Amino acid sequence: MPESSSLIIVLFVVGFALVAAEVFLPGLILGTIGFFCLMASVILVYVQYGSSAGLLAAVLVGGLSLIGFILWLNFFPRTRIGRRLMLKARQPADLTAAAHQAMIGASGEALTPLRPSGTAQINGKRVDVTAVGDFLESGELLVVTAADGMRVAVRRKDGLVSAPGTA
């Protein structure tokens, strides 16, 4: 078995490496194991060197974690790997919640079957919608009844006629 100070350093380094690897292999398994390695290194410092050294180790692990997280937030998106992993596209201004509120009462056409969610064309724009009441088939006329944030609720325009081809 390695010397206790070597084991502490190994647990510390492996812990940070596993937490960092969690970025590339999500699933919380590596991050959890890394967290436990970091905690084990702090506990071993407490046991081997006393409470003041253990407190210093805990502050060191916490501080380095915070600094590493801040550096990751600032520099990772600028790296080649970060640019490939991060979403670059912005939502168009016409897809905001305020624009959805303005659609209430507008008519449109279902582009896909709404069972209950799908896509519709409203005011010349493709919008993700949710049918209230009956399922709607593609091509049916619809009207926007409500908009809550990014959710747009629609119903069949006449409200009573069944979908074409169904009885």
Q: What is the pLDDT of residues 69-95, one digit of tens each?
A: 999 889 988 888 888 878 777 656 555
Nearest CA to 144 out of 115, 112, 105 is that of 105
User: Is the separation of the CB atoms in 60 and 45 below 8 Å?
Assistant: no
Q: How does the average pLDDT of the chain come out, rounded?
A: 86
Query: Which helix or strand (DSSP H or E) is residue 142 part of?
Result: strand 141-148
Nearest CA to 157 out of 128, 118, 120 is that of 120
Distance between CA atoms of 112 and 89, rounded to whole angstroms?
24
Cα 146 versus chain centre, distance: 26
User: Is the separation of the CB atoms in 153 and 143 below 8 Å?
Assistant: no
Tell me which residue has tokens 């190994």: 10
3-state helix, strand, coil split of the chain in percent (to 5) is: 50, 20, 30
Mean pLDDT of 22-40: 91
Q: Could you tell me the pLDDT band of residue 41, with boundaries at 50, 70 and 90?
A: very high
Strand 117-122 relative to strand 141-148, pairing: unpaired
Mean pLDDT of 95-101: 73
Nearest CA to 107 out of 127, 135, 92 is that of 127
User: Is the separation of the CB atoms in 111 and 128 below 8 Å?
Assistant: no
In sequence order, the β-bridge partners of residue 129 are: 118
> Token pair of 110, please?
């279902």
Q: Could you tell me the pLDDT band of residue 163, with boundaries at 50, 70 and 90?
A: very low
Q: What is the pLDDT of residue 9?
A: 94
Nearest CA to 126 out of 113, 109, 105, 138 is that of 109
Q: Is the pLDDT of residue 129 over 50?
A: yes
Q: Is the pLDDT of residue 1 over 60?
A: no
Query: Which helix or strand (DSSP H or E) is residue 108 part of?
Result: strand 107-110
